[in-house]
Amino acid sequence: MRTKVAIVGAGPAGLMLGQLLSQMNISNIIVESRSREYVEGRSRAGQITPATVRILTQSGVGERVHAEGMKHSTLQFHYDGSTRELDFEALTGQTVMIYGQQEIIKDLVAARLRTEYPLLFGAANVQVHGTDGNSPSVTFRHDGRQQSVECDFVVGCDGFHGICRPQIADALTCYSHAYPFAWLAVLAEMTPIAKDVIFSSHETGLALFTMRSAKVSRIYLQCSPDEDPNEWSAARIWDLLQSRIEGRPEKVDGGAIIEKSIVQLRSFVAEKMQKGRLFLAGDAAHIVPPTAAKGLNLAVSDANILARGFEHFYASDKDDLLLSYSGIALKQVWRDVQFSHSMAMLLHRYDDNAQFHRRLQIAELDRILGTGPAAQNFAELWVGSPPFTASI
Ligand code: APR
C-alpha cells in the first residue's frame, strides 16, 4: 500500500489531521491500535475554544457542535466563602462551547468513513521505519495480516504513551513537571447545579464543576495522586463536593455515577515536534494539566498547522512551512502550558506551607476578578485568542 501521509493514532489529533488532509485531497491512512467502540466511548475533555469550533466547522464536521454544544460566556470562581463571576464574552467578544471530546471523535469518524481513505482500528504492533530518509513506511498487523504502508511522511498522533516520540528521542529536549496532587474525575447522571462552569478553590482543595449535557455533570475533585477510585463511594464524593462549594446556595443531591477515575496532573513538552519525515501532534508531543481545558484544543491546533504545511508542500514542492511546524505550534503550546500551570497554582491546596500559598492565591484571584487588565488578560487566555494559526 502507498499513501502520502501515514497517521498513527485516531484520537482528536489524528482524526482531525486526517479530515483536513482528506479535504485537501492529500492521500492518508490512519492506523489505530484500539477498537472503534473504545475510541468513541472514551470520556475526556469537553470544552472547545472558538478556534477549534472554526476548524471543525470549516472542515465540515461542525454541524452537531453547533446544534448540541452548550455555549458558555461566563465562569464562576468560588473562594473565601463567596462567588465571583468572570464574563469572558464581555471582555473578549468570544464564547466557548461545551461539547464532549467523544462526540467530536464520533463526528470525525463518521466523516472519515464517507471518504475513500482508510481508517484501520485494532492494528497491532505498529512500527515506524525510515523517517530519517526519504522513503518512510509504517508496518502493523491488521485483520490477521502483516501490512506495510509506504509514505512520504509519518505523523505520530499516538498520545503520550505512543511509539512515535521514542523513535526520535535522540533529537528531543523534553520538559516536564509533575504536580503533587491529582483529580478524581466523576461523570454522573445529575442535572448541572449551575449554568456555568464553577471553579471552587477551597481550603481543603479544588472542586471543578462542569457538565456534558442538560442531564450529565462532570465533576473534578482534588485528591492525592495515589488514590484508588474504588475507595470513593457516591456518598463520599457528594459530601466532598458539597463541602467544597460551601457558601453557595446549591444542595448537591447526587445522581447515578456513570464513571470515576483518577487523572494525574502533569505538564510535558517535547521540543522540537519533528525530526526528518516524522512529526508529532497532540498528546504525543505535549501534555497540559486539565485546569484550562486546553489539551483537546491544542491537538486540533497542531493538526491544523501541520495540514497547512502539507498542503503547501504538495502544492509548491516547498518544505518551508513543514520545517517551521514545530516553531509555530510550540508558541501556542507554551502559552497554554503556562496558562494551565498558573491555573493549577491558583486553585489547588498546597500541603507545603499551606496558609502562605492560600494568601497568595486569594490575592491573585482578587486581582484577576477585579476591574483591572488582569481580567482581560485571563479572559483572552481562557478563550485562546488570538489563535496562533493565524500566522500562516
Ligand atoms: N499504534 C496505533 N495507535 C496508537 C498507538 C500505537 N502504537 N499508541 C496509541 N495509539 C492511539 C491511542 O489508542 C489513541 O486512540 O493513539 C490515540 C491517541 O489519542 P489521544 O490520547 O486522545 O491523543 P490526541 O489525539 O493527541 O488528543 C489529545 O485527548 O487525552 C485527551 O486531554 C487530551 O484532550 C487531549 C486530547
DSSP structure string for 73-95 = -EEEEEETTEEEEEEHHHHHS--
Number of domains composing the chain = 1
Say how many Å lie between the CA of residue 349 and the centre of ligand 1. 30
Whether 311 maps to a domain, the answer reads yes
The confidence band for 250, taking pLDDT boundaries of 50, 70 and 90, is: confident
124-129 β-sheet, strand order: 124-129, 137-142, 145-150
Say how many Å lie between the CA of residue 7 and the centre of ligand 1. 11
pLDDT in tens, 206-247: 999 998 888 999 999 999 999 999 999 999 999 999 999 999
Packed helices 50-58 and 295-316: angle between N→C axes, nearest 10 degrees: 40
The confidence band for 391, taking pLDDT boundaries of 50, 70 and 90, is: very low
- The CATH number that applies at residue 50 is 3.50.50.60
> Which residues surround ligand 1 with Cβ inside 6 Å?
8-14, 31-34, 39, 44-45, 101, 123, 126, 157-159, 162-163, 282-284, 295-296, 299
Whether 330 maps to a domain, the answer reads yes
Whether 167 maps to a domain, the answer reads yes
Whether 117 maps to a domain, the answer reads yes
- Which residue from 34, 158, 164 has its CB within 8 A of the most atoms of ligand 1, so it is best to mutate? 158
Residue 317 CA neighbour count, 13 Å, CB half: 0
pLDDT in tens, 83-124: 999 999 999 999 999 999 999 999 999 999 999 999 999 999
Query: What is the reported pLDDT for 390?
Result: 38
Query: What is the reported pLDDT for 252?
Result: 86
Say how many Å lie between the CA of residue 356 and the centre of ligand 1. 39
Whether 198 maps to a domain, the answer reads no
pLDDT in tens, 170-193: 999 999 999 999 999 999 999 988
pLDDT in tens, 259-309: 999 999 999 999 999 999 999 999 999 999 999 999 999 999 999 999 999
Whether 142 maps to a domain, the answer reads yes
Query: What is the reported pLDDT for 387?
Result: 64
Query: What is the reported pLDDT for 388?
Result: 60
pLDDT in tens, 129-164: 999 999 999 999 999 999 999 999 999 999 999 999
pLDDT in tens, 351-390: 989 999 999 999 999 999 998 899 999 999 999 987 665 3
Its domain, for residue 162, covers 5-176+265-383
Query: What is the reported pLDDT for 212?
Result: 85
Q: By C-alpha distance, which of 189, 40, 188 is closest to 110?
A: 40
Query: What is the reported pLDDT for 389?
Result: 54
Measured CA to CA, the distance from residue 390 to residue 377 in angstroms comes to 19
Average pLDDT, the chain: 95
Whether 289 maps to a domain, the answer reads yes
Say how many Å lie between the CA of residue 295 and the centre of ligand 1. 11
Query: What is the reported pLDDT for 201?
Result: 96
Query: What is the reported pLDDT for 255?
Result: 87
Nearest atom in ligand 1 to 164's CA:
7
Cell of 294: 486546553
Whether 190 maps to a domain, the answer reads no
pLDDT in tens, 29-60: 999 999 999 999 988 888 999 999 999 999 99
